[in-house]
Amino acid sequence: MAEKFCLSNPNLTDEDHLYHIALSTSDNLPQRFGDVKYVCMGGKERRMQKFAELLYDTLGKPKNSELTEQPTPGHRLKNISQSGGRYCFYKVGPVAIVNHGIGNPSLSVVLNEMLKLIHHAGCTDVSFFRIGTSGGLGMKPGTVIITKQAYNGLLENCYRQVICGKEIRYPADTNPQLAEDLLKCAKDFKIEAIAGNTMGTNDFFEEQARLDGAFCEFSRQEKSDFLKRAHDEFGIRNFEMESCCFSGLCARANLKCAIVCTTVVNRLERDDVTADKSLLEEWEFYPQQLVAEYIKRSC
């Protein structure tokens, strides 16, 4: 029998309040969530709601889903964490779908609580996925990047976490087999996708070498030198803002993870994101299609 996922924190007890996702150990976690095998996360609430509805159809309306009492077209699923007011959370068959907001701090909070949820629920064989958007480095917008290694803004392949006034570095790599399987789904769906390294920063503007933020005290030459170095020396193919924390905490918990991000701009050409809404929605849909297909094939 597969081993139950177990966090190593000795302070965890049978009573726990997952404050930001509005759940606690008195909410029948093993009965409601013990079958979860996939946790899918992404920044926006709307994207994750749409993804949950897509999965509900793709997986043939699985019975072990949490449904809303007042369904409307495209809104059949219950937002389990609605009363928390911070994140949305849907359950579709063996999949938990959650949004994480922008950046490592917002992700870290909900990821800690999702890890505690699967611990208390006694889940087995769980994989984590981030489906997101990113700025491509030399990539045609709409290309999907499946992250191999995450680098922070200092071009270090790690997640830096401050604990009791000290900084600890955790490796920030994803699972190669998941990446390969997702690339295969992309090929079958004729979605342009590559495996590459990702830079996960703590800022959208200056840390990603954008000249068009509220502030900028570096030159165009410094910007292009940095982008060239990231591309040529470190194999960076896209920028986003959660890959280090996501891969760092999943690895720390001994869980497999994948990061699948579409690109919405080619940073070698411009800084601002100018594509129209329908094109952005189309590009944003590609990672959802790939991860939904991967889950359908593997569950």
Ligand X SMILES: O=c1cc[nH]c(=O)[nH]1
- In the complex with ligand X, the residue whose CB is nearer, 170 or 204, is 204
By CB under 6 A, tell whether 127 contacts ligand R1P. Answer: no
- Whole-number minimum distance, CB 103 to ligand X, in Å? 9
- Whole-number minimum distance, CB 41 to ligand X, in Å? 15
The CA distance from 159 to 157, in Å, is 7
Encoded one letter per residue, x for contact with ligand X by CB under 6 A and - for no contact, window 245-264 reads -------------------x
- In the complex with ligand R1P, the residue whose CB is nearer, 132 or 248, is 132
Give the contacts of 252 (CB within 8 A, at least 6 positions apart): 170
Taking alpha carbons only, the member of 154, 184, 171, 177 closest to residue 248 is 171
State how far the alpha carbon of 212 is from the alpha carbons of 207, 217, 221, 238, in Å: 12, 11, 15, 18
Kindly indicate which of the ranges 111-119, 156-164, 234-242, 247-255 contains the residues binding ligand X, using the contact rule CB under 6 A. Answer: 234-242
242 binds, among ligand R1P, ligand X, none (CB under 5 to 8 A by kind): ligand R1P
Buried-exposed string 246-257: b where 16+ CB fall within 10 A, e elsewhere: bbbbbbbbebbb
- Phi-psi sector, 10: left (phi>0), alpha (psi -120 to 50), beta: alpha
Taking CB under 6 A as the criterion, which residues in 154-213 touch ligand X?
Answer: 204, 208
By CB under 6 A, tell whether 44 contacts ligand R1P. Answer: yes
289 labelled ligand-binding = no
Encoded one letter per residue, x for contact with ligand R1P by CB under 6 A and - for no contact, window 193-232 reads -----------x----------------------------
- Please pick, from the candidates 19, 30, 57, 102, the single residue that binds ligand R1P as defined by CB under 6 A: 102
By CB under 6 A, tell whether 53 contacts ligand R1P. Answer: no
Question: Contact, 168 vs 79, CB < 8 A?
Answer: no
By CB under 6 A, tell whether 151 contacts ligand X. Answer: no
- Whole-number minimum distance, CB 73 to ligand X, in Å? 30
Residue 61, token pair as written in the block: 């309306």
Query: What single-letter DSSP state applies at residue 43?
Result: S
By CB under 6 A, tell whether 242 contacts ligand R1P. Answer: yes
Taking alpha carbons only, the member of 87, 181, 198, 90 closest to residue 134 is 198
Question: Contact, 111 vs 245, CB < 8 A?
Answer: yes
Kindly indicate which of the ranges 115-123, 137-145, 237-245, 290-298 contains the residues binding ligand X, using the contact rule CB under 6 A. Answer: 237-245
Amino acid 299 reads: C
State how far the alpha carbon of 24 is from the alpha carbons of 15, 40, 114, 158, in Å: 8, 20, 11, 31
210 labelled ligand-binding = yes
- Please pick, from the candidates 241, 244, 245, 258, the single residue that binds ligand X as defined by CB under 6 A: 241
The CA distance from 285 to 116, in Å, is 29
By CB under 6 A, tell whether 134 contacts ligand X. Answer: yes
131 labelled ligand-binding = yes
Positions in the binding site for ligand R1P (CB under 6 A)? 42-44, 102, 132-133, 204, 240-242
- Annotated binding residues for substrate, written as ranges, equal 208, 210
